[in-house]
A and B are shown apart, each in its own frame.
Chain A
Amino acid sequence: MSREDTGVRRAVDWLRDAAVSPTREGSNPLVAGVAVLVAVTVISPLLWLFLRAAAVGPREALSILVTPSTVDVFVNSVALVASVTGLSVALGVPLAVLTVLSDLPFRRFWTVALSLPLVVPSYLGAFAFVSAFGPRGELAELLSPLGVTVPTVYGFEGATLVLGLFVYPYVFLTTRASLLSFDTEQLEAAQTLNHGFRSAFRRVVLPQIAPGMTAGALLVAFYALSDFGTPAIMHFDTFTRVIYVQYNNFGRGTASLLSIQLLAVTALVLFLESRLGDAGGDGYGGGVVGTDSPVASLGWAKVPALAFCALVAALTLVVPVAIFGMWLLRTGPGYASAGIGFQWDFAINSVYVSVLAAAGTVLAALPIAYVSARSDSRLARLLERSTYVGYAVPGIVLALALVFLGANYLPWLYQTLPLLVFAYVVRFLPQAVGSTRSSVMQVDAKLLGAARTLGETPRGAFRRVTLPLIAPGLVAGAALVFLTTMKELPATLILHPTGFTTLVTYIWRVQEAGYYGRAALPALVLVAVSALSMILLLRQEGDDG
């Protein structure tokens, strides 16, 4: 009885914490209430996992969880997450610093080129890498007359390399965002106070960009945890690969059990991150957006820096585009089939559903981002963290959960666009929350206070002051969600309205049938459309430079 009381009281405390935050104007109880509602809604489909897992007997469950291969899979997954995150930070942070703070030649070009790998679905990237660098791959064929042998790309190293190369832009973009909003005068001041660039960077810049880096790194970590395609193609066993195999063989109980284990890993990563985050100070300063003018001269390092950028761009863009182009030109299997013919409708469908998903996700993200940016309460933190759950769950697991809920309880929604869009919102919410949250943080509360003093209603102040200021964050979030929705496969395959073919479901269809050549055109279209939205995203960012 009394224990329940404390539980309820704690929940009330959380709510009050959220409502009465340090910057009072930010979170009124209504916003907090909506935020809680959104969070509960997006997590609710996962309850199905526990129902399914409960169908597995406790003894069998235990035996599945402690078999050596399950332990191996656990170790593999954690190792892959760590290595991919490490590689992404190692690539993303220096590249962001180079393109924002240094006098690297053609910075605009490099910014675009180095962001673009995000538009290449990692499973297509993996295919391209295997085709190019695999045993008997194109590169091996090319080099073999010269007596050069190419090392194999399969396994842990290959999976790390491919995933790292195609998801590091998360870190690159979030770090850039923090660098751009960082007041470079501070750095200059530090440098004039006899700190070298390196020391000034460590003492002034790094603490400021740490939250941005961490946000990007979290996205990378959970991407690595939930991605199925790349580990499968690179022959490396992770949770997702085993879960996928289970789902494809009616082992739904086992699959849900493993998914819950995956969720536990998610929780662990979030916990570690929150420990790290607490130590990292109070996040963004309230600074006005800084300038994009270079503050560090590269000097002799200019050539190696250019070579580094060029190498990354070549591996992530030239290799896949060249391989897809080669598939496109090469004659395919001996017979044509209308059923596997490409139609431009597929691209239109992809864009349409991705725009809906981007809009829906940003709307859902707004209250959560608002509460979490304006409040330091446990509730606020819990809300923000909870959005990562749907992101870390493999798409196939979430999709089948929604099949169960949709067909049985919401038949009017089942196999309709709204349910598909809802799946995307659940999957990609943290991407929008992250960027919206950082832009909300940069809104100076004094400005709002001034607007209120001048007689604006809270709603008016939001519309006239807050909204214009957070618009870049919203657009950035929307663009990220658009990109990832364009690429998402399992949820699309399972939940699409019948007859609604998108680029990825078409790529799946021809690839499953073994017609790799047919996947080339849609893959190139997918990359091109996503690249356009990426340029939009960067233009938004670049307005102040």
Chain B
Amino acid sequence: MEDDTSRSLRRRRFLATGAAATVGALAGCNGLPGGGGDGGDGGDGTVSLSSFRGSGPLIENRASLSGTRIADLPDLSGELTIYLGGGEGGLYRDLLATFSQIYPDFTARPREGGTAQLANTIIEEGENTPADVFWAVDAGSLGAVDEADMAADLSSDVVESVPEEFHPTDRWVGTAGRARSVPYNTNALSADDIPDTVMDFPETEALTEAMGWAPTYGAFQAFVTAMRLIEGESATREWLQAMLDSGVTEYPDEFLTSNAVADGEIGAGFANHYYALRVRSARSDAPLDLAFTSGDAGALINIAGAAVVQGTEQSDLAENFVRHLLTVEAQEFFATRTFAYPMIPGVPPVGGLPTIDELNPPSIDLQELANVEPTLQLMRDVGVL
């Protein structure tokens, strides 16, 4: 029944009103046939899905879920130092706390910082790094650590449940996705005002003096890197210049960009998809919707992912931990609490988002997003940075 609703969505647009998109879903179908343990935290090692699931208007009527469950995995036991990059760190801490509740012998020592900053830290630390696991919110940071030979090989059973584009090497694996999107103010613009391709934005009259972006924000730079890889340097340079000429407004980050769209300060912006969901979750009456472009840099899906750090003395525990991040329970946590795209096909995203296979991301190697230097050079040349 959920499938009906998603089919009725236009491919590149959706309404962030979760209720409308999930009308057809049956209450109570979140039980897993044969999975067991939905009833509660039994002392018999079964784990309640509800302790991983978020709540609120966007998270009603979840579909049935499938995939590896925590009960299928060996216990976590021991102490892990986890370098936890980026803004989701605070929320990821809750997942770590839940793991510690399930496994009293497991202690996670999270260390937070900016994702790239922690990647830089691991690279500077070299073989003396105290980190066992690097859990980052962007593929470029994982790629940088990988290229510095600081990521260990993961067993194939760890990575095989995740589509290949979300683990281009076997030294890190995606744990949750974020899609590039165009949040727009429904009072100022209609869905038809947003072009299908991001390259058309500067020439679109409705968007003149109406767009916002956050060029110092990592996700935006990853997007420009993707554009550079797909369209080439000079087209990207022209696009940036044209956007500047069309009077784009700059924000420090994409949450503020999305908020400014909801406030009507700008008509539309470039931002990761979950920021709009967050704004909606806090202000359900916000005149805010999302549009997606198709097959180009504007439709990039970047990922949060994890790597076992090279040289750790805890490699078995670290790998088992990464396995746990790809269980149904953890994936449901990412979907319903951080509004991210789950990485395993058996867990759908929330809020009436098109499923990951309904989006049309460009085909590029995410690891190449680590090569931001030429992007920054380009952005500096044009005067965007």
Contact = CB atoms under 8 A, between A and B. Distances in A.
Given A335-B337, A493-B113, A252 B120 contact: yes
A135 B265 contact: yes
B37 interface: no
Nearest to A499: B109
B348 to A, nearest CB: 19
B16 to A, nearest CB: 13
A111 to B, nearest CB: 35
A400 to B, nearest CB: 6
A455 B218 CA distance: 68
Contacts of B238: none
Contact of A408 (B90, B128, B264): B128
A510 B218 contact: no
Most A CB contacts (10 A, CB to CB) among B94, B216, B253, B278 go to: B216
Nearest to A512: B87
B113 A494 contact: yes
B112 interface: yes
Interface string A301-334: 0000000000000000000000000000001111
Interface string A512-538: 111100000000000000000000000
Nearest to A134: B265
B281 interface: yes
Given A338-B94, A339-B92, A407-B128, A498 B120 contact: no
A514 B275 contact: yes
Contacts of A335: 54-56, 281, 337
A512 B255 CA distance: 9
Interface string B357-385: 00000000000001011011000110101
Nearest to A48: B124
A492 to B, nearest CB: 10
A340 B121 CA distance: 24
B282 interface: yes
B385 A415 contact: no
Interface stretch (A82-90, A240-248, A264-272, A461-469): A240-248
Given A232-B252, A498-B109, A249 B381 contact: no
A174 interface: no
B260 A136 contact: yes
B125 interface: yes
Given A135-B265, A396-B117, A250 B278 contact: no
A498 B111 CA distance: 5
Contact of B94 (A248, A254, A337, A515): A337
B130 A498 contact: yes
A411 interface: yes
A45 to B, nearest CB: 12
B57 interface: yes
Contacts of B218: 248-249
A28 B176 CA distance: 64
Contacts of B97: 338-339
Nearest to B112: A509
A526 B143 CA distance: 37
Contacts of A69: 380-381, 383, 385
Interface of A: 67-70, 72, 135-136, 232-233, 235, 237, 241-242, 244-252, 254, 331-335, 337-340, 396, 400, 403-404, 407-408, 411, 414-415, 493-494, 498-499, 505, 508-510, 512-515
11 contacts: A136-B264, A136-B265, A232-B252, A246-B376, A252-B120, A331-B282, A337-B90, A337-B94, A339-B93, A403-B121, A513-B89
Given A70-B380, A250-B372, A514-B275, 20 more contacts: A68-B381, A69-B383, A235-B250, A244-B216, A245-B216, A248-B114, A249-B140, A254-B373, A333-B281, A335-B54, A335-B337, A338-B97, A403-B121, A403-B124, A493-B112, A493-B113, A498-B81, A498-B109, A513-B88, A514-B87
List 10 tightest A-B contacts by C-beta distance, closest first: A339-B93, A334-B281, A514-B255, A340-B90, A407-B125, A512-B87, A333-B282, A248-B116, A249-B372, A69-B380
